[in-house]
Structure 1
Amino acid sequence: MSIRPTFEELYDPRRTLDSPSYKILGPNDKPTEGANIGLFINNRRDIHLAEMPKPSPAPGHVLVRMRATGICGSDVHLWHDGRIGHHVVNDDMCVGHEPAGEIVELGEGVTQWKVGDRVALEAGIPCFLASCEQCRLGRYNGCPVLAFIGVPPWHGALTRWHVHPQEWCHRLPDNVSYEEGALCEPLTVALSGIQESGIMLGDPTLIGGAGPIGLATLLAARAAGAEPIVITDLHQSRLDVAKSIVPTVKTVLIDPSVSQEDQAKKIVEAAGQEISVALECTGFEGSIGTAAFCLRYKGCLTILGVGRSIQSYPFMRLSLNEMSIKFVNRYANQHARAIRLVSGGVIDLKPLVTHRYKIEDALEAFRVAADPKQGAIKVHIQDLS
């Protein structure tokens, strides 16, 4: 009989900050030096730091000192809207699902890691039971009981220490920094989109949105040989970043007052031809519709972004042109691939991090990440001391 605890026991989604072992920090409170700190949100749109006990690794798990953790758009979405799809913030929960760090303690039975190993953490933890069809087929991102840290009800890794199953840690080569290791999480989403779209060398490609996922997708699409590439966004500053990391990309600034059809004409004009593959990274209905009007006959529209639960698309445009619509639900079997691409110099993620904060300043970091006017692409919480 296994002595390994269940995920529910280890990451108890019912724990709240009402426990006496947790201390909510007010705006003027300074954290205890060296304490375990986490960034919490709740269903009242509050955001606060809290001190909590330093965890101990359970059997089969490792304790990781977080060195770099990215703030994702979905973290901000959970804070503002209190939900993503059927994942609802019902109580205080710690966010963060883009972490990399150093293993500092081993749980019983851990043999594949040693103290001091540098790792990126894969956030989605499936059941991996033989009775689970999706896990058995290698599509574990579709596991019906998948626990994704930092998404309700599971607590995340925007903390100083985090306990994680040993199987879902990925070794970082010496030439991959903690910062790059954390960036591999959004890159895995981009790689899933590239794979799902079936993109080929020389495919005219549209990328909707120049946020972190859009820019990671731009880098991956360039590495995959897409040409020409057009990227769109509402903010010129983000398009400028896109141009700086891939100088050959065509950029189109979106005007919300322009119809989807007319916006698509500008995109097609920039590309010099209709688009074969559209990789939509925003989840916004208007951006998805615009992409549909850009596609050529038999084109493929792959949606990576997260948007409203109910949306309307130009059905007849899609239908009469036999276009494919595909969706990407996070990722599976992509982390090792992402790390190889970064380690081998095929993809350079470093320009994506525009703001860096200590965990004690995580509240300010979160607010910067939530405000497009701040010009942030990827905001990181880092502890490299």
Structure 2
Amino acid sequence: MTDNLSAILYKKQDLRLEQRPIPTPKDDEVLLKIHSVGICGSDVHYWADGQVADFVVKAPMVLGHESSGVVESVGKKVTHLKPGDRVAIEPGVPCRTCKFCKNGRYNLCADVVFCATPPWNGNLCRYYTHAADFCYKLPDNMTLEEGALLEPLSVGVHACRRAGVTLGSKVLVTGAGPIGLVSMMAARALGATKVIMIDLVKSRLEVAKQLGADHVVHVTKTTSKEEAAAKILDALGEQPDKVIECSGAQASIRIALEVTESAGVIALVGHGEHDINISIADAACREVEVRGVFRYVNEYPLSLAMVASGKVDVKKLITHRFKLEDTLEAYETARTGAGGAIKVVINCVKQ
């Protein structure tokens, strides 16, 4: 056991495959033989731009945070996992002692160690150590690929929970990328009666329809917020009471504010420009709530249950598979969307 091939980002557009030492787990950690790692939009931005928002790559960093693996060994304090267990890896490990952690909002912990977020290494490699209590054992009817996709699904579940999606909700999802799609699937699993999606790309909307969206609406860069709202109302038959905004685009946020039902909720998932010009007077008068969404918190168990029960089929999101040795090609596919790429997954097991 000496091969720990790792995908290391040195700087903008400088991604290298190199060997690194196999780490030793601490008392409360497990050593994992990584199996599947999905490529997230943030991974692509780190590679292409060298940063995501205020997180800047200043030193070599192993990429990857949507992952699953098999337990190779355990620290002496770990009792709930054993070698051979297949697990999904929740990539953010908080301090556990600050007020946010103690209040159950550990995703807001200022000292969270999050995979592949500078300065912390990710797990696009053969072997990786992680806090045992943030590893979730997979049931026999779930694959390791499905385990890796619990990460983006947890984002969608958290977004829906922040928006208050429940039985009978009428949900609009803006943006039909991977996070928009898992948000739509999560909304359906949580009981939403109607789910409608909008996007600029027709092919993505076709996928959304196949995955369970009741209605889809194609908009263009020249579509006004009033025109978009009219299309949504025509398709849905009524105003949505919950909106999951996954694009981060100013135009989409304006559409959300225009179309949301009075007393409804808009959950902002997509992170776009820092400064966005929107008018909130009408929304304020109608008591429309706008809520932020950051990663997820206590969502992995529910996401796992959704997949294990068959309520959500994340396998349908996977369009491309690559070996670890072909990481550069995998990232280019994810960046360009070549071949209709939605979710690109890398297999890290030595072939």
Q: 1:317 to 1:82 in 2, by over 3 A?
A: farther
Give CA deviations for 1:40-83 in whole Å, capped at 9, x if unaligned. Answer: 22433322222212222222211111111110011112223322
Residue ranges of structure 2 left out of the alignment (5+ in a row): none
Match of 1:66 among 34, 45, 49: 34
SS in 2 for 1:80: helix
TM-score normalised by structure 2 residue count: 0.95
The 5 Å alignment of 1:313-328 reads: 313-328=278-293
In 1, Cα distance between equivalents of 2:176 and 2:82: 38
In 1, Cα distance between equivalents of 2:244 and 2:219: 16
In 2, Cα distance between equivalents of 1:103 and 1:255: 47
Match of 1:261 among 226, 232, 235: 226
Q: Which residue of 2 aligns with 1:93?
A: 61
Q: Which residue of 2 aligns with 1:298?
A: 263
In 1, Cα distance between equivalents of 2:336 and 2:277: 27
Q: Which residue of 2 aligns with 1:11?
A: none
Residue ranges of structure 1 left out of the alignment (5+ in a row): 1-32
> CA RMSD, aligned part only?
1.6
In 1, Cα distance between equivalents of 2:266 and 2:16: 39
Deviation for aligned residue 1:136:
0.7
Higher alpha-carbon deviation: 361-370 or 71-80: 71-80
Q: Which residue of 2 aligns with 1:377?
A: 342
Matched, 1:277 2:245: no
Q: Which residue of 1 aligns with 2:313?
A: 348
Give CA deviations for 1:326-373 in whole Å, capped at 9, x if unaligned. Answer: 011101111111111111111111100110111011110011011134
Deviation for aligned residue 1:158:
0.8
SS in 2 for 1:305: coil
Q: 1:293 to 1:216 in 2, by over 3 A?
A: same
Match of 2:19 among 51, 68, 82: 51
Aligned residues: 350
Q: Which residue of 2 aligns with 1:333?
A: 298
Q: Quick one: percent identity of the two aligned structures?
A: 39
SS in 1 for 2:11: coil
Matched, 1:144 2:147: no
Matched, 1:114 2:73: no
SS in 1 for 2:149: helix
Deviation for aligned residue 1:182:
0.5
Deviation for aligned residue 1:34:
7.1
In 1, Cα distance between equivalents of 2:90 and 2:339: 29
Matched, 1:39 2:4: no
Higher alpha-carbon deviation: 104-113 or 353-362: 104-113
1:159 aligned partner, one-letter code: C
Q: Which residue of 2 aligns with 1:126?
A: 94
The 5 Å alignment of 1:238-257 reads: 238-246=204-212, 249-257=214-222
In 2, Cα distance between equivalents of 1:35 and 1:256: 48
Deviation for aligned residue 1:268:
1.8
1:304 aligned partner, one-letter code: V
Matched, 1:217 2:177: no
Q: Which residue of 2 aligns with 1:164?
A: 130
2:299 aligned partner, one-letter code: Q
Q: Which residue of 2 aligns with 1:187?
A: 153
